[in-house]
Structure 1
């Protein structure tokens, strides 16, 4: 009697342990494939286990380095556009800044009401000594205002770079395939009625 109980307990333990190991192996195979590598784990860590990047992460990267969000969204072709826009505006702002300083120095140096101490630098060679003070003032104000406006455009381009990456990261999971039509299907079915035998019917399915 004691021997049969011991054999029964041993058999039960073996069955439970075997079932647990099989279920654990099934769970491991379900969540971690056999060919799962360190590269796949790093990719899942970067993407938070999703095929699509986190929009907030994309926004932060775009604000840190322009174009980084587009790279994260796998839109590398937009990076030259981003840097072309920012680089062109920056170059133009530098040109306007230099012109503004030149005309400011010329207006100060050629104005008889201000001492000729070259406070803002010497007068450039391309500006004649007999230039009209009113024209010099207008040119100075023009280049200063245009430079400040370009600074605003640089800020807008920087923000547009981040907004573009953020919006695309949000829209990326949506289905944008060419097949977005509606499909209607009908098939015979059996409708169950309480306290009565089943009755034949037709089911209508509409898929968008």
Structure 2
């Protein structure tokens, strides 16, 4: 019996000190926040702000004045392309709008019985003039839609360029157009070749 009590007295201290020490969860959470904050500060310190472009600013510049987002991203050669596309689009809109107004005037003159001085148009019926008017209006609307699409693509291009501005370009990866010959028919076709150097 003495041995049993002795064994119990020897073993109990091992179980008594095996309890986990409780820690304050607020202190642990605060220490984790401090560690995360320090790592974020170190990461932001490693960013080269001279090569960083803000995508929101580039989109705003392109929305206010088309081509300015491309200049902000230092893609100078894209700005004249944007101006050309939007200028040609605006020119087509104005041209087709004038044709539509002219056709509408002829249609209204024919509808109200006003004499038309143009020889080729004076012989047309009301239905034919209405068809010509609708065709000119549709063409004008297509020109407006395509010009608006060019404007939206200008903003999208500036935003994407700003996102990709600081990314290093890998000189070992390249895309090249290639000409592929069909062995059976000896016809040539244009393809895209991808090469990667190790």
The two structures have a TM-score, normalised by structure 2, of 0.58
Counterpart pick for 1:164 among 157, 161, 166: 157
Query: 1:124 deviation in Å?
Result: 7.1
Give 1:133 shift. Answer: 2.0
Distance in 1 separating the partners of 2:137 and 2:74: 39
Give yes or no for contact 2:51–2:165 (8 Å, CA) kept in 1. no
Q: What whole-Å deviation, never above 9, does each CA across 1:69-93 have from its counterpart, x for those lacking one?
A: 0001111111111111111111111
Contact 2:70 2:76 in 1 (8 A): yes
| Residue in 1 that maps onto 2:105 | 105
Give the Å deviation of 1:132.
2.4
| Structure 2 residue 94 is matched with structure 1 residue 94 | yes
Q: Matches of 1:89 and 1:149 in 2, distance apart?
A: 10
CA shift, 1:51, in A, is 2.1
1:53 paired residue number: 53
Q: Secondary structure at the match of 1:128?
A: helix
**8 A Cα contact 1:73 1:168, kept in partner:** yes
- The answer to whether the Cα contact below 8 Å between 1:55 and 1:170 also exists between their aligned partners in 2 is yes
Higher relative contact order (CA 8 A, sep 6+): 2
CA distance in 2, matches of 1:123, 1:78: 48
Matching of residue 150 in structure 1 with residue 143 in structure 2:
yes
The structure 1 segments of at least 4 consecutive aligned residues displaced by more than 3 Å after TM superposition are 122-127
The RMSD of aligned alpha carbons is: 2.3
The change in CA–CA distance for 1:88 and 1:127 in structure 2 (over 3 A counts) is: farther
Deviates more, 1:150-159 or 1:49-58: 49-58
Distance change (3 Å), C-alpha of 1:64 and 1:83? same
Contact 1:106 1:124 in 2 (8 A): no
| Contact 2:97 2:140 (C-alpha < 8 Å) held by counterparts | yes
Equivalent pairs, count: 127
